[in-house]
Amino acid sequence: MPSTRPSKQGTLKREKPEIRFEGSVEETPFTLFLLLLALRFAATIIPFLGGAYLITDYVWPILKELEITIQLMEFPVWLGFLFTRAILVLTTLVWLFISYDIWRSIQLVGEWERRNVYRLGRYNVCLKKGLRFKFPLLESWGRPIDLRVRVVRWKTNRAVSSDDYSINPEMAIHYSASQEEPWRTETEVQDFDQFVLTSAESSMPTIASEFTLKGIQSTEAKLRLKEECQAKIGTLGSIESLALTDTGIEPETQTALNARATLQAQAKGLKEAAQLEEEIADYFVKAAQKYHDAGYSQAPVGLIAEKLRIMAFVQASTGGEGKSTWVIPSPEGLFRSIDNSRVDDLLRSLTEAANRSSKKEED
């Protein structure tokens, strides 16, 4: 159950969780309450007065004669006095008990509850709503059986998930007593609420072993947990819903999970950065190839791409507007202008080729 504390004997004592009921209960009308009191008074007054009359007019005189007889038999005076007074007290207690039991024999059973009646300790009948009666002395009332849906939240025992994580989950359950056979919740189990919660708690390790830590709160896990608990309580009650509200991961396990999540995030970030760098490198290689094909540089394509990458990095770092000054080592000739002699030679060769083609056309 939710918590344990050591008892005086050193053993663990469990505290029962709080049980709430869904749905409101209307208060008993005052007129109906007066009617109940009137019926109880009418049923009790005659036995009460009759018992008082018997004690004062019959039992007491007989006890006085008995006391005198004991004295005539040469017993101590105090013995006769104590013996007769003890019988008088016992008779009075029996009279009061009978009067009280007659008073309680009339009960008002609400719309949302049922009451069992036991005859000489044996189950007799389950009474429904309304004014109900039982035979005094021969029959007794059971506890009120509430038919409303009950809501309980509590922390269960530890369980181990299928991926070997230790958890101490917190559960929430909605359940109710059997609507068709409500008397069984009192005749077949000592404590119906404790029986249901224990069944749910014992179902948790079985279900936890079937799911991972991530899937223990899934819809499928909730359905399996509900089915397992319903199978254990049978037709004594109905499980409306049963699920985990918190897995209750141990601190050591939480630390390990956080560390693993950090490593996974770092690995994912490095992988994405590597993919992005590969795409950028492809663009610079294509650009460097164009520079090389156009004759702007005779250096290897890879070296040209490297220079372009460095220039792009410097431009991105300074905002492209010279807002910052960077001093970095660079390969010789990285920031030199294009060789003008090579450009002139290229233009001269293009001009000569154009002149030759024009002369051919004239001829």
- The pLDDT of residue 26 is 77
CA–CA separation, 127 and 25 (whole Å): 19
**What are the tens digits of pLDDT across the range 172-229?**
999 999 999 999 999 999 999 999 999 998 998 888 888 888 888 888 989 999 999 9
pLDDT at 4: 40
At residue 105, the pLDDT reads 94
Token pair of 327, please?
A: 């001093």
Query: Nearest Cα to 102, choosing from 26, 44, 162, 33?
Result: 44
pTM above 0.75, yes or no: no
Cβ neighbours, 10 Å, residue 84: 20
Question: Residue 285, exposed/middle/buried by CB under 10 A (0-12, 13-18, 19+)?
Answer: middle
Residues 85 and 87: their CA atoms lie apart, in Å, by: 5
CA dihedral 31→34→40→41, nearest 10 degrees, is: -140
- Residue 52 predicted with pLDDT over 70: yes
pLDDT per residue as tens digits for the range 257-299: 566 666 666 677 777 777 877 777 777 777 777 777 777 777 7
Tens-digit pLDDT profile for residues 7-24: 343 333 456 788 898 877
**Which phi and psi (to 5°) does residue 127 adopt?**
-90, 140
Between residues 26 and 242, the one the model is more confident about: 242
Q: Which domains does the chain have, with CATH numbers?
A: 25-142 (no CATH), 149-249 (3.30.479.30), 273-357 (no CATH)
pLDDT value, residue 341: 60
Mention every residue, 6+ apart, whose C-beta is less than 8 A from residue 102. Answer: 43, 44, 47, 136
